[in-house]
Amino acid sequence: MDNITYPHITEYIESLVGETGLGHLEKYAEENSVPIIQKDALGLLLFMVGMKRPKRLLELGTAIGYSAIAMALESPHTMITTVDLNAGMKERAEENIRHAGLSDRIEVVLSDCMDFLKGDHDKFDMVFIDARKSHYMEYLELSLPLLNEDGLIIVDNVLFRGLVPDGEEFPRKYRATVSTLREFTRTVSEREDLSSAIIPIGDGVAFIRRKPNV
């Protein structure tokens, strides 16, 4: 993964985050090229989850269950619904969740995120968006109605490999992702009804909430 900031800063922050207790999942992800949240960004995500202690948390993009397990361990009363369209990932995630003893608090749903978001659901206190980057605008629009009034949306990869700032050159294959993320970051910062912050950690993390009474 390309760094969006200085490698020695990332390494230093990751060393401070230290052992997650999920080294076996980090090793599996590395060996099998499964994209999981970077450890420095995980530290920030867990801080927010621990501070907010959401009752119901929705994660878009499960992979092997790494971030879902880490969030469940950080906040012992949080119920997590995590969505992935890859049946192999769902199976692997469920096995990892079972091993972690968290099957009663993490539900893995096999679905395209868009289909899931269009369904009927109780509201969530937090949404962590980490699925297909070229669909981030739709995920945002569809997540907002599912969010409690003081809910928080956290989005990973919003600075995607450092290619999102205007003027960066990038390979053709990244065109849809980069243009969506440019639109996404501009939109969340310009929308009157939203308050947002982007942190250059990991692959870029955005915090988004609805402004009260707008």
Ligand X SMILES: C[S@@+](CC[C@H](N)C(=O)[O-])C[C@H]1O[C@@H](n2cnc3c(N)ncnc32)[C@H](O)[C@@H]1O
**Which residue ranges are tagged as binding site for S-adenosyl-L-methionine?**
37, 67, 84, 130
Select the residue interacting with ligand X from 9, 30, 86, 119 (CB under 6 A).
86
Q: Radius of gyration of the chain from Cα atoms?
A: 16
Are the beta carbons of 54 and 78 closer than 8 angstroms?
A: yes
Q: Is 136 in the site for ligand X (CB under 6 A)?
A: no
For residues 214 and 212, give the distance between their C-alpha atoms in angstroms, rounded to a whole number.
6
CA distance 30 to 179: 28
Nearer to ligand X, 28 or 170 (CB): 28
d(CA 19, CA 135) in angstroms, rounded, equals: 32
One residue of 66, 124, 160, 184 binding ligand X per CB under 6 A: 66
Name which of 131 and 205 has its Cβ closer to ligand X: 131
Tokens 């928080």 belong to residue: 152
Q: How far is the CB of 196 from ligand X (least distance, A)?
A: 20
What is the binding site for ligand X (CB under 6 A)?
35-37, 61-63, 66-67, 83-86, 89, 112-113, 130-132, 135
